[in-house]
Amino acid sequence: MTAKGPEELSRVGYEPPPQDWLDPAVDFGARKGSWSYPGTVKSLTALGLPNPRAWSPSDADWKLPENWEEIVRDGFRERLSKYRSLKLFLETCVRCGACADKCHFYIGSGDPKNMPVLRAELLRSVYRWEFTGAGRLLGALAGARPLTPDVLKEWYYYFYQCTECRRCSVFCPHGIDTAEITMLARELLNLVGLNVNWVTEPAANCDRFGNHLGIPPHTFKENVEFLCDELHETTGVRVHPSFARKGAEFLFIVPSADYFAEPGIYTFMGYLLLFEQIGLDYTLSPFTSEGGNFGLFSSHDMIKRLNAKMYAEARRLGVRSLIGGECGHMWRVIHQYMDTMNGPADFLEVPVSPVTKTHFDHAASTKMIHICEFTADLLHHGRLRLDPSRNDRVRATFHDSCNPARAMGLLEEPRAVLRAACRNFFEMPENTIREQTFCCGSGAGLGNDENMEMRLRGGLPRASAVKFVRERHGVNTLACICAIDRAALTSLMEYWVPGVDVAGVHELLGNALVMDGEKPRTTDLRNRPLAPEGGGPDA
């Protein structure tokens, strides 16, 4: 973790620095802990990305290509003509400041350039200089400044200090979306080889192996089979997933962390139990062993490239439709980009629940539904038997993941599952949930160790809300529907709110789900006794 303790880290100064914000200087050496290591030669080469080289942000020379200025300017111009969003968001801000204290990184760091308005101004100032007459004529008076290597370095620092969570865009009276600004700024940075290895390496792995972690197909199968054995021990039930089976009704795609590490594996166990119990005709494929898409954190072209596998594999296997697991940014891609980029999915059919016969018409074109939508529908029709008392040691609250909340509106479905599976459920304060939810601070490719201090700072508003319900209601479990959350919130809780576990919604469902032929359950999916000594925190 970081050398600084919670006491020190939570003392934040909000007084702006003496120098004007147009001054781009960032001292990377002094700010260790708040930036990420750049993409390696290996990962850039594998993806065919420009300017692969060994370098570090703390170096004076970033080894930019000779004509870097021209590349960035042309790339900027091209994107202005391709995205109305960019043009509009650069031209219509009135700097009213409503967004300023909506950013978790600003609240946790006090750095004024983490105010969404100033983050965007970093790009706007160059836009004014390069593309407007007034900017060129009046310079700093018009808030314009030329593109220099220092500006590029500043962009690197601050656009890899935004998690594209879109909380600010909820509050902006003009609907300016900093995620869009950050995405396009990162595209410009990528043009000259300025990226983060925690994005490029997973993307390269995903392209080659089929998942971010670089798990080869046989290991994928072994991992899943291992989890099946574990489930057999815990529940006495043998589950039967299939692999790349042609003609299955559904192709099921999950984020790779779900079959790789704790606590994601317990969520995966929940999926397996659910599908076994209802006898779902589904298959998993090692070719699409990743739901996440780190293209979202580098470029639109990369989103399309990595996402293409989903429809390609669905077509090859001849499935009817798709179900996706619990993952945040994966669902932004599926919901807002997949059909546009890689559709039309006219070879698939509108998803229908084989159990309840519900037609999921809201996915009539994309043909992919979220597992929470699928499960909430089963529960609503009373088609699952649950024993929520098995979760009585759990006192849960729910963290809305940024993308399902603000790029989709998946708010009630996971709550319906959670309320059915768990008798002790408490909401965090309303300014910190649903569309106003706070980011874990580690999204958009920033969840690496070297960036830990900034992650913890960014996670402070979320942690503070969890602490509030922990003190008030004894909450000990933070439920969520995102793989990055499951990893990131675990570190975040350890640091800010010890004693709170992080669990996927389907893990809690798996605990409560009564399976045909199961043995009397004495432990939950984590092999913890169902009711700890004393009968749980309620007793």
Partner 1 sequence: MKATKVLWPLSLVALLSLVALLGAQVPVLNPLFSVAIPYASAAVLVGGVVWRVTSWARSPVPFRIPTTCGQQRSLGWIRPARFDNPSTGAGAAVRVLLEVVAFRSLLRNTRAELKPGGRVVYAPDRLLWAGALAFHASLLVILLRHARLFFAPVPAFVEAIQSVDGFLRVGVPGLYASDVVLAVAAAYLLGRRLLDPRLRYLSLPADYLPLFLVLGIAGSGLLMRHVYRADLVSLKSFVLSFLAFRPRVPSAIPPLVALHVFLVSALAVTLPFAKLVHLAAPFLSPTRNLPNDSRARRHVNPWNPVIKAHAYAEWEDDFRDKLAEAGLPLEKESP
Q: Which is nearer to partner 1, 28 or 468 (CB)?
A: 468
Q: Which is nearer to partner 1, 63 or 174 (CB)?
A: 174
Tokens 């090692």 sit at which residue? 286
- Interaction between residue 336 and partner 1 (CB under 8 A): yes
Helix or strand or coil: residue 85?
Answer: helix
Would residue 517 be called left, alpha or beta, if left means φ above 0 and alpha means ψ between -120 and 50 degrees? left
C-alpha 62 chain-centroid distance: 29
C-alpha 521 chain-centroid distance: 33
* Binding test (CB under 8 A) with partner 1, winner from 261, 416, 530, 531: 416
Q: Which is nearer to partner 1, 57 or 202 (CB)?
A: 202
Tell me the C-alpha distance between 391 and 484, whole Å: 23
Give the footprint of partner 1 on residues 443-462 (CB under 8 A).
Answer: 460-461
DSSP state of 47: H
Distances (CA, A) of 14 to 30, 154, 367, 448, 463: 19, 20, 47, 26, 20
Tell me how far, at minimum, the Cβ of 266 lies from partner 1, in Å: 24
Q: Are 331 and 414 in contact (CB under 8 A)?
A: no
Q: Which is nearer to partner 1, 104 or 506 (CB)?
A: 104
- Interaction between residue 519 and partner 1 (CB under 8 A): no
Q: Which is nearer to partner 1, 284 or 446 (CB)?
A: 284
- Interaction between residue 100 and partner 1 (CB under 8 A): yes
Give the footprint of partner 1 on residues 155-184 (CB under 8 A).
Answer: 166, 169-177, 180
- Interaction between residue 472 and partner 1 (CB under 8 A): no
Tell me how far, at minimum, the Cβ of 107 lies from partner 1, in Å: 6
Q: Which is nearer to partner 1, 70 or 91 (CB)?
A: 91
Q: Which residues pair with 523 in a beta bridge?
A: 529
Q: Strand pairing of 250-253 and 501-504? A: unpaired
Tell me how far, at minimum, the Cβ of 233 lies from partner 1, in Å: 23
Nearest alpha-carbon partner for 131 in 70, 69, 73: 73
Written as one string, the DSSP assignment of 362-423 is GGTTT-EEEHHHHHHHHHHTT-S-B-GGGGTT--EEEE--HHHHHTT---HHHHHHHHHH-S
Q: Are 437 and 167 in contact (CB under 8 A)?
A: yes
* Binding test (CB under 8 A) with partner 1, winner from 216, 354, 536, 537: 216
* Binding test (CB under 8 A) with partner 1, winner from 26, 44, 115, 384: 115
Nearest alpha-carbon partner for 291 in 320, 245, 260, 248: 260
Tell me how far, at minimum, the Cβ of 223 lies from partner 1, in Å: 11
Quick note: the x/- pattern for partner 1 over 117-136, rule CB under 8 A, is xx--x----------x-x--
Give the footprint of partner 1 on residues 47-76 (CB under 8 A).
Answer: none
- Interaction between residue 212 and partner 1 (CB under 8 A): no
* Binding test (CB under 8 A) with partner 1, winner from 111, 258, 413, 453: 413
Tell me the C-alpha distance between 496 and 499, whole Å: 10
Q: Which is nearer to partner 1, 262 or 361 (CB)?
A: 361
Q: Are 9 and 165 in contact (CB under 8 A)?
A: no
Give the footprint of partner 1 on residues 256-295 (CB under 8 A).
Answer: 286-287
Tell me the C-alpha distance between 34 and 257, whole Å: 24
Nearest alpha-carbon partner for 270 in 424, 417, 475: 417
In residues, how long is the chain? Answer: 539
Tell me how far, at minimum, the Cβ of 515 lies from partner 1, in Å: 25
Tell me how far, at minimum, the Cβ of 127 lies from partner 1, in Å: 13
- Interaction between residue 46 and partner 1 (CB under 8 A): no
Give the footprint of partner 1 on residues 221-250 (CB under 8 A).
Answer: 221-222, 243-246
* Binding test (CB under 8 A) with partner 1, winner from 6, 65, 75, 537: 6
- Interaction between residue 322 and partner 1 (CB under 8 A): no
Quick note: the x/- pattern for partner 1 over 418-447, rule CB under 8 A, is -----------x-xx-xxx-----------
Look up residue 119 and give its amino acid. Answer: R
Give the footprint of partner 1 on residues 349-388 (CB under 8 A).
Answer: 358, 360-366, 368, 373, 376-377, 380
Tell me how far, at minimum, the Cβ of 41 lies from partner 1, in Å: 20
Neighbours of 421 (CB within 10 A): 29
CA-based diameter of the chain, in Å? 78
* Binding test (CB under 8 A) with partner 1, winner from 59, 70, 74, 91: 91
Tell me how far, at minimum, the Cβ of 177 lies from partner 1, in Å: 5
Tell me how far, at minimum, the Cβ of 373 lies from partner 1, in Å: 5
